[in-house]
Amino acid sequence: MTHTSSLSALRDRYARWTTPRPDGLPNRAVVGLPLGLLGVVLVAFVALGLTGSSTGIVHDLISQGDDPALIAGEPEAIRSDEWFVQTSWVISQVEQDLPARNETFPGGMDATVQNDLPTTDWSTVLRPHLWGFFFLPLDQAMALKWWLPGFAVIGAGYLLAVVLMPRRPVAAAALSVGFFFAPFFQWWYLSTTLYPAAWAFLVMATAMWCVRSSRRVGAWVLSALTAWTTAAMAVGVYAPFIVPVVLVSAAFVVGVVLTPVPQAESFGVRVRRLVPLLVGGAAAVLVTLIWLVTRWSTIQGFTSTVYPGERLQKVGEGGWSETAQLFWGFLSFDLGRTAGLPFAVNMSEASTFFLPGILLIVAVVWLLVVRWRASRRLDPVTIALLVVGAVMLAFLIVPGWDAIAHLLFLDRTTSPRIRIGFGVLSFVLVLVVGREIDERRARRAGRPPWWVAGATAAVALASMAVVLWRIHRETGLDVHFDGIEPSAVAVGVISALLLVASVVAIARGGMTTGAIGLLVVSLLAGLGVNPLYRGVLDLRDTATVHAIQQRDEEEPGTWVGITSSQLPTMMLVESGVTALNGFQGAPSREMWSEIDPTGAAEERWNRLGMVSWVLGTGDPSPRNPYPDQVQMTFDACAPFAREHVTWVLSEAPIDSACVTLSDTVQEGPTTMHIYEVVK
């Protein structure tokens, strides 16, 4: 009896702690305590300098023995956007004192647009994850850059979850953390991927808060935060991730405005209550327009490239293969082994979400029907979400409506990247189901019947069967699973069964149980994608970069890195010297006028991509091994080299009468050679 009484008392205390406000929104403790705890964890991670950086991928090239900064996991080569591109340019910015225009490339590069770089430009105010570079050591600043966008996803997702389900903070926390660990985010881990999702959740939570809240202060505070996040997302200028989440958010807000609530029964009152959000949105749009206008030449330079240029995708090109790929999250644990095959060319392009909300479609429809039968009212939010889901699905499989897709900006995204829209949609649909079931319980209407749960299980199993069937059609199941470890098979089976059990639990009203199950599934698939690393590997600490900087101080000039690995390019970029290596956004016209004065090869170099050099004969001749790579040839005896290049960094010896060896540096197992071009 004592044990039973203790449990009863604990339940009562929890019920009192989670009691919503009179307007139906979550109370201060439910909102503040978990978000405060999240903030404490963020501060701890930053103080410890922890990141998920894969910069350690080059450790074995510069040092022998284990990497002391690697705490757990393994660096991922496929994460080169992070370790090869962004981090190298960030360190270059730090070396050059955070200029608005990075001077590595001759003619410079606008550092306020591409590669998410810290600068002294005013627009860095819009990127809070970069503020640490003004007052923190590099490792701690990189930790803030790494974690803040991800924690924003968790925090915004939690806020939306408790706005819709104010009595379920535990389920809200499990769902939001699980969403963060989705394979899609972990394999695409950049602020340009994470901020759109965080923004979408903030917009939806703020809209609900504005319409329902009897107090205006909270509405204005949330609207200001949403406006700030809008600008942070917009200056990332990556439309393929932005467009899908905007459509989902817009559908949700329309549904909220069309839904009568006790605080605002009439449509006009609900629209007026959205004034804080509308004002915040207008302010964010104005700031973004100012940002765009003040760097319009860079934007034009980027959009006028041969690749990607103004890339538009036709509707229906995804097909059934891309649709099946949406649901292969239950196999995400094995992405490292399969490298994304047979659906994509690498793990990032193949990654997806678990989409429990989509799998709950039977429960969603059943709840709509029973609501209509009971009150002759439909739920506008659910209807709007189903409509936008149908539109995104049509984008994948239905050809012939390109003009409409163009008006909706859908053709600015791509089949792999529209998955972020399905991920956000799925998250919200889970919350909608949870809210509706909670309201039924409050009315003592009971939970959904077992046949709904059974149909949900059937949908989940059918989605898995479709994925396996597509794999069978593409490569054969025996080929796909050849060589898989028994332990991996066990993880896969557990993930699949737990995913089915979780959506069944949610369909029956067991939201907390289902949410925890989904969290475990996400952790199994996403937790080990990125390593746990102490800071980043800073190549400025190497003897080679010290030698580069010393030679450049003695005789300033332009450097070329001859690449058999990424190391020479990374060293030159991070050293802060003037160099012709590096990842370019809008190509520097001054640099390319030196390399290709006639413009004859513009189609091959005028592109977003990595500029690298290999030995060749004659003046530089560019080629494109991949659309985003510009590989140049270098001949020290050619007129271009003698006129424009002073120093050459190479891993291999150069046999040429037109260079003299200036220095040889043994960097762990790698021998680096520094040559001076004979004028």
**The one-letter amino acid at 578:** T
Strand, helix or coil for residue 271: helix
CA proximity to 462, closest of 653, 661, 327, 587: 327
**b/e 200-214 (16+ beta carbons within 10 angstroms → b):** bbbbbbbbbbbbbbe
SS (H, E, C) 584-646: ECCCCHHHHHHHCCCCCCHHHHCECEEEEEEECCCCCCCECCCCCEEEEEECCCCHHHHHHCC
For the segment 212-217, the average pLDDT, to the nearest whole number, is 88
pLDDT (mean) for 17-33? 93
Q: Is the pLDDT of residue 309 over 80?
A: no
The pLDDT value given to residue 308? 81
Determine the average pLDDT of the residues in 370-381.
89
User: Residue 475 corresponds to which tokens in the numbers above?
Assistant: 């490569």
Q: Is the dihedral of CA 129, 133, 139, 140 positive or negative?
A: negative
Residue 348 tokens read as 């990032």
User: Mind listing the pLDDT tens digit for each residue in 61-97?
Assistant: 999 889 999 999 999 999 999 999 999 999 999 999 9
Q: What is the pLDDT of residues 559-569, one digit of tens each?
A: 999 998 999 99
Distance in angstroms (rounded) separating the CA atoms of residues 224 and 218: 10
Residue ranges per structural domain of the chain:
2-45+142-528, 539-677
Predicted confidence (pLDDT) at residue 422 exceeds the cutoff of 90: yes
DSSP structural state of residue 126:
G
**pLDDT band, very low/low/confident/very high, at 541 (cuts 50, 70, 90):** very high
DSSP state of 19: P
The 3-state secondary structure of 329-380 reads HHHHHHHHHHCCCCCCCCHHHHCCCCCHHHHCHHHHHHHHHHHHHHHCCCCH
* Mean pLDDT over the full length of the chain: 94
**Token couple for 185:** 């985010």
pLDDT in tens, 594-604: 999 999 999 99
pLDDT confidence band for 344 (50 / 70 / 90): confident
For residues 605-627, give the mean pLDDT.
94
Tell me the mean pLDDT in the region 330-349.
90
Look at residue 2 in the predicted model and tell me its pLDDT: 62
pLDDT at 248 over 60: yes
Portion of the chain with pLDDT greater than 90, in percent: 82
Q: Report residue 256's pLDDT band, with 50, 70 and 90 as the boundaries.
A: very high
Q: What are phi and psi of 156, to 5 degrees?
A: -70, -40
Percent of the chain whose pLDDT exceeds 70: 99
Q: What is the pLDDT of residue 203?
A: 98
Total count of residues recorded for the chain: 679
Average pLDDT over residues 117-126: 96
DSSP count for the chain of H helices, then E strands: 31, 12
**CA-CA distance, 593 to 149, in Å (whole number)?**
38
- Cβ atoms of 452 and 507 within 8 Å: the answer is yes
Look at residue 553 in the predicted model and tell me its pLDDT: 96
pLDDT tops 60 at residue 1: no
Of 384 and 238, which is predicted with more confidence?
384
CA atoms 610, 611, 615, 621: torsion sign? positive
Give the per-residue pLDDT at 230.
96
- pLDDT at residue 158 greater than cutoff 70: yes
In single-letter form, the type of residue at position 538 comes to: D
Question: Could you identify the residue written with the tokens 């509706």?
Answer: 436
The pLDDT of residue 310 is 67
- pLDDT of 380 > 90? The answer is yes
Q: What is the mean pLDDT of the segment spanning 177-183? A: 97
In this predicted structure, the answer to whether residue 3 has a pLDDT above a threshold of 80 is no
